[in-house]
Chains A and B, each alone.
Chain A
Amino acid sequence: MRLLACLLALWFAAPAAAQDSMPPAPWAYRQLDDPAQEARAQALMETLRCLKCQSQSIADSDAPMAGDMRSQVRQRIAAGEDPEAIRSWLIERYGDYVSYTPRLTSLTWPLFAMPLVLLALVMLLLRRRLRKGDSA
């Protein structure tokens, strides 16, 4: 009877967890030995989006897939790959969505242009006001 209850509990527990039982990828929770490389990997991981838990970076997430992404990032950095090349590789696969650092594209240029436009506007208004002040 107890065995049956245990089996039943297991049966219900497995789908609720819906997580794999594999150990994390080799570099998911292990820092690189070279602190400079680890710093570069960390900086990149903080600006890559976890695809399972979309408001977190892969550095912040415990999702297995985020662990796999961290492991891959660290391995590639250890192999001497440039962080921005890894970012581009991921953007090629998941689109700009995967990166928290917006690039300058035909879609995103207003993001970069708006502050300049606003600044120019402020200068213009200030100049007019200051000139008016002079004449008064």
Chain B
Amino acid sequence: MSVPPPLEPRRASPWALWLPLILFAGFLALVIHGLTRPGSTEVESAMVGKPLPAFALEPAVFDRPGLATADFKVGKPRLLNIFASWCVPCAIEAPQLESLRREGVAIDGIAIRDRREDVAAFLARNGNPFARIGKDDVSAVQLALGSSGVPESFVIDGKGVIRYQHIGVIRAEDLPLIREKLEEAQ
């Protein structure tokens, strides 16, 4: 702030007169910016680049084994899909998971807050692209992964390090990106 020339005691400096208005205009600009361009509501996991947390989950269905951290340390990248039978969008991404599976991508699932019979019915209806499916009844592994919803998918490299997080449904147009991330994790 520049020091104004010597003042008579009563007269306000031009700064004192205009500063509040300038501040208010700045505040208004900030509010308009915030209203017209609301931020994303997705919560990204801070675990990308870090090793998978230690976990061992019971099988979610009878015809697939459960899922544990050790299952990812097998030298090849795997796709970890967080889903639930009660999650409507999860059915939408089933065809995309199925086509990845047919391309030879190893996919494991974690069913969140789900019953065995419901998971089985969901897979019977939408296809089962999973090699292993763990059952996470209290979202414990989901919280440990920094995942905040279903569906979410993680690319895990062959050493068990999380390399990429995909939030929401894997749509057909997302497939090239997923393939690229799996390739990078080789």
Q: Which residues of A contact B149 (CB under 8 A)?
A: 51-52, 65
User: Given the interface contacts A22-B113, A52-B148, A136-B9, does A72 sit within 8 Å of B138 by beta carbon?
Assistant: yes
Q: Which residues of A contact B9 (CB under 8 A)?
A: 132, 136
Nearest CB of A to B183, in Å: 26
Interface string of A60-79 (1 = CB under 8 A from B): 00001100110110000000
User: In the complex, what residue of chain A is closest to B111 when comparing beta carbons?
Assistant: A20
Task: Summarize A's interface: helix, strand, loop or mixed.
Answer: helix
Instruction: Indicate if the CB atoms of A22 and B115 lie closer than 8 Å.
Output: yes
Interface centre among A25, A92, A93, A132 (most CB of B within 10 A): A93
Q: Which of A70-102 contact B (CB under 8 A)?
A: 71-72, 90-95, 97-98
Q: Which residues of A contact B45 (CB under 8 A)?
A: 93-94
Instruction: Indicate if the CB atoms of A68 and B114 lie closer than 8 Å.
Output: no
Q: Which residues of B contact A26 (CB under 8 A)?
A: 138
Instruction: Indicate if the CB atoms of A21 and B47 lie closer than 8 Å.
Output: no
Docked CA distance A68–B147 (Å): 13
Nearest CB of B to A95, in Å: 5
Q: Does B2 contact A (CB under 8 A)?
A: no
Q: Does B146 contact A (CB under 8 A)?
A: yes
Interface centre among B114, B118, B143 (most CB of A within 10 A): B143
Q: Which residues of A contact B86 (CB under 8 A)?
A: 14, 17-21
User: In the complex, what residue of chain A is closest to B45 when comparing beta carbons?
Assistant: A93
Interface string of A1-27 (1 = CB under 8 A from B): 000000000000011011111100110
Nearest CB of A to B101, in Å: 25
Q: Does B144 contact A (CB under 8 A)?
A: yes
Interface string of A108-132 (1 = CB under 8 A from B): 0000000000000000000000001
The residue from B88, B113, B143, B145 contacting A69, defined by CB atoms under 8 A apart: B143
Instruction: Indicate if the CB atoms of B114 and A15 lie closer than 8 Å.
Output: no
Q: Which residues of A contact B112 (CB under 8 A)?
A: 20
Instruction: Indicate if the CB atoms of A51 and B148 lie closer than 8 Å.
Output: yes
Instruction: Indicate if the CB atoms of B44 and A68 lie closer than 8 Å.
Output: no
Instruction: Indicate if the CB atoms of A94 and B146 lie closer than 8 Å.
Output: yes
21 residue pairs of the A-B complex, CB under 8 angstroms, read A14-B86, A18-B86, A22-B115, A25-B137, A52-B149, A54-B43, A64-B113, A65-B142, A65-B149, A68-B138, A68-B140, A68-B142, A71-B138, A92-B46, A93-B143, A93-B145, A93-B146, A94-B148, A95-B46, A132-B9, A136-B9
Residues in chain B within 8 A of chain A (CB atoms): 9, 41, 43-47, 84, 86-88, 112-115, 118, 137-140, 142-146, 148-149
Closest 3 CB pairs of A and B: A93-B146, A51-B148, A68-B139
